Structure 1
């Protein structure tokens, strides 16, 4: 079995990375990696942890591969986390080096006081000027470049084994302990190989790299899929629908994967543009994962582009893919109880439904456990497979439907209710952009559902819309499932990767209308 280092050659002049108006060939990338690898070698040994805090910039990919050249463990951290969240993760990791994109030095520079190792800054504009609109929105400080970006033709100290740990990627925990999936080189290769062959990705493809690299989707579908298929990846620092459309038109991108919230954002931004279907015609695979895709979004996207959004399902613990839509797929939209299917099990992967409905998965892309967390490892992994924590339905043709997270179940007078069922009913309103349903304690019923609704374009009057939503719920849902209350909000609670996070709803209630 190979590692990603087997696919980068120093003599290769094909373009690997497009970053705004700049290009980096595979050969030059290889040489930049060698320079950074030599720099990192002075701060740690094989097995040392190197953490990186940045958006989607070329140095992220370079540092990742430079770590592997030293047999080091690469750990991406989200720049959208608070300082408190990041400091807890850094203390847990005790990294030999923390590399920070320099626009975040005011936010995270104080990590220097808790890190025993070295802090190195890198400049997001070293390899390309960020357009003024994007720069003004996200970058508020002067760039600093401290990475060794002098090209070095050779650097070979350590050759990683497929069984070696390649990355630690944080995910949500159940025990209260830090929970970082220990991803091995063999897991990365397996997951990337699955994507490559499933979607027939090759040198001709141009990957639109808009999923954040600190998330497993960006790491695998974005970076490693591009490497293993020898294709091009287009980076635009951080997702905006405007810059994304520019990149598609300019670079004739062909494949991408992101979350449902981004597709809704693109729909809102692009739907009125003249000849939009033709402008997007280079794209052959629109894909999404990480959260459910509303039926309404699928229908509207198909109408705007002529193509479905190919749903995927996977976890950080599965190094991304567990199920994918058949490709190509031209049939009817696969729906079960207003839930769009996440596809069928991918190559070499076994999926089954436990007696309680939980999805259990096995495959070469599935990790073996969590870094320094025996408790959650024991709860999640066994000889029978990985417990995903997701309740599923599997139809007679092996199409998988993710109903909801097991932990999000609402217990109403002994009746078990999945929030997604209520959410899908409310989304059918013409006025609703998105919704989150969470439980609220009730003295009589134990728990009752409460709906937090984001409307399209701040439409009002709210009382009339609330009445319409209640009428829809009465029509589509059993009486006990109808929300006790409907609260209108200005924004949805999303995490760093753009997924809606129900548990964060109370953090944004200051925005309630």
Structure 2
């Protein structure tokens, strides 16, 4: 039974500031996402669901392919409730088909970033027990999947033929001009355990029904690194995923329904895009316009061709638009709402973007462990500048003093903690980390901020050392350990610094062994074999000694101060 409104407002000051039409204690829908998307397909099968570079898929076609893929997973691979299936795919029609197909078959999705190194991918797939991986025959991606097979991290591959995602003319041109970019899958030494994505769908197998307990069964095992850099699998139930969709849907006040069109340039394997760019619009019968990667010219072409009006983005992307001479009021005329997430939105980017577009720019906040959205600025009316908005319906937050653990008052800084139906049940196979993630039943975010008297939330700092680079987590320890494998390196300490393009970027401070020497370019070339592009340090600074704490631990605090002084001293 809901508490009287007066007492709710006393505990939750944001309720009084909610936009008209939004109720905090409205019922939250926890129907599994695959059931929702198939229902949306049935309601309007002839409407467009997906647009990939001009090649379209109707909702009816999407349902047929999801169902057939689920049937093949069950009949050919033995996928059942709890089976982990890894997806290593860029944004293409193959991704939503595979994602919803895995869930319909009863399996659990394990998202994999194609930019990760084989070692990173190997940890994720091995930890998850994901014996099956769905991927593409683009050489750069396929060779990683093949390496995972060779190492025994996965046992079977399902490989989609990239040109089949393209419109006919582009498909022919790609096959002629870009043939070298495609892997010769049939020549793989592991060809006997590789199946074709399209061939599996062509079987048209009918999947057996699977009874899902939304509150207990895991829909997505999403890997995140936390403070250690060692990826942990956040267990998101069907109810967690569906609840966050329902919360966002209510917060949008109809934004995610036709005639809206949502641009998906953020990768679906990222939790923000998975929920906001794919799940929410498709389950409402709204088309999703996909790009496989961010290219400004291609993005502006989408606005011109489709008149899309909703753009979920990261600050890096918004900054690129704001700085581009080719992007202006005319090119962005159809855009109504841009939603920034994944990293803090700098005020200068906010102002620069407002000069290019009349669109409402709303900043949101979330984390993998919350499926992911916790707070968001209003999507139909203006919010307080520099705020991440207010908690979504059904979400409670509090701020706790970092040192004492006591709840702080309005306007006082503390660690942001969260309760709500979107919060994970824990980390896979890691009870200690699961315990540490919560305090008295509240999810600890590791982010420091405060709430004002109107219920608006402001973040000021992070407890964690992780670096958020273009919306992705980069862990100093990963870079430090890679650098330490070079024979000339004695000590290394990595910090995150402000970066105009990526939001944040890593900078490495290195002490070399006595008598050793190496250039910055040579050390970066060495690291290129061990780190992905996002993790590569923006700068490597060599020092005779690195600052340490009294107990001999390398200290980042002094390095941050030193770097700030270096920047300030530059003309």
User: What band does the TM-score fall into relative to the shorter chain?
Assistant: 0.7 to 0.9
Query: In 1, Cα distance between the equivalents of 2:557 and 2:128?
Result: 40
Q: For the Cα contact (< 8 Å) 2:128–2:233, is it kept in 1?
A: no
Query: In 2, Cα distance between the equivalents of 1:405 and 1:152?
Result: 49
Cα shift at 1:68 = 1.3
User: Which residue of the other structure, out of 191, 200, 224, is the alignment partner of 2:279?
Assistant: 224
User: Which residue of the other structure, out of 232, 244, 254, is the alignment partner of 1:191?
Assistant: 244
Q: For the Cα contact (< 8 Å) 1:205–1:231, is it kept in 2?
A: yes
Q: Spell out, residue by residue over 1:378-410, the C-alpha distance to the aligned partner (whole angstroms, 9 max, x if none).
A: 10024431000111121111111121220239x
| 1:439/1:23 CA distance change after superposition, 3 Å | closer
Q: Spell out, residue by residue over 1:337-366, the C-alpha distance to the aligned partner (whole angstroms, 9 max, x if none).
A: xxx211111111011100121100011111
Partner residue in 2 for 1:471? none
Partner residue in 2 for 1:169? 222
Cα shift at 1:442 = 3.1
Q: Please list every run of 5 or more consecutive structure 2 residues that lacks an aligned counterpart in the other structure.
A: 1-29, 186-194, 403-413, 467-494, 510-545
Query: In 1, Cα distance between the equivalents of 2:35 and 2:446?
Result: 35
Determine if the alignment matches structure 1 residue 378 to structure 2 residue 435.
yes
Partner residue in 2 for 1:112? 149
Query: In 1, Cα distance between the equivalents of 2:503 and 2:417?
Result: 29
User: Which residue of the other structure, out of 248, 261, 264, is the alignment partner of 1:209?
Assistant: 264
Partner residue in 2 for 1:454? none
Determine if the alignment matches structure 1 residue 29 to structure 2 residue 58.
no
Partner residue in 2 for 1:60? 95
| 1:403/1:351 CA distance change after superposition, 3 Å | same
TM-score, normalised to structure 2's length?
0.70
Query: In 1, Cα distance between the equivalents of 2:54 and 2:201?
Result: 19
Q: Spell out, residue by residue over 1:455-479, the C-alpha distance to the aligned partner (whole angstroms, 9 max, x if none).
A: xxxxxxxxxxxxxxxxxxxxxxxxx
Q: Between 366-375 and 113-122, report the one with greater CA deviation.
A: 113-122
User: Which residue of the other structure, out of 93, 96, 107, is the alignment partner of 1:72?
Assistant: 107
Query: In 2, Cα distance between the equivalents of 1:56 and 1:385?
Result: 34
Query: In 2, Cα distance between the equivalents of 1:290 and 1:213?
Result: 13
Determine if the alignment matches structure 1 residue 4 to structure 2 residue 42.
no
Q: For the Cα contact (< 8 Å) 1:258–1:288, is it kept in 2?
A: yes
Aligned residues: 436
| 1:297/1:155 CA distance change after superposition, 3 Å | same
Q: Please list every run of 5 or more consecutive structure 1 residues that lacks an aligned counterpart in the other structure.
A: 335-339, 410-418, 452-479, 490-513
Cα shift at 1:443 = 6.3
TM-score, normalised to structure 1's length?
0.77
Cα shift at 1:315 = 0.4
Query: In 2, Cα distance between the equivalents of 1:231 and 1:59?
Result: 18
Q: For the Cα contact (< 8 Å) 1:175–1:376, is it kept in 2?
A: no
Map residues 124-273 of structure 1 onto 2, 5 A cutoff: 124-129=162-167, 140-142=181-183, 146-147=196-197, 148-150=200-202, 152=204, 154-163=206-215, 164-174=217-227, 177-199=230-252, 200=254, 201-269=256-324, 271-273=325-327
| 1:488/1:211 CA distance change after superposition, 3 Å | farther
Cα shift at 1:439 = 9.6
Query: In 1, Cα distance between the equivalents of 2:430 and 2:214?
Result: 22
| 1:176/1:327 CA distance change after superposition, 3 Å | closer
Map residues 281-360 of structure 1 onto 2, 5 A cutoff: 281-330=333-382, 334=385, 340-356=386-402, 357-360=414-417
Q: For the Cα contact (< 8 Å) 2:264–2:273, is it kept in 1?
A: yes
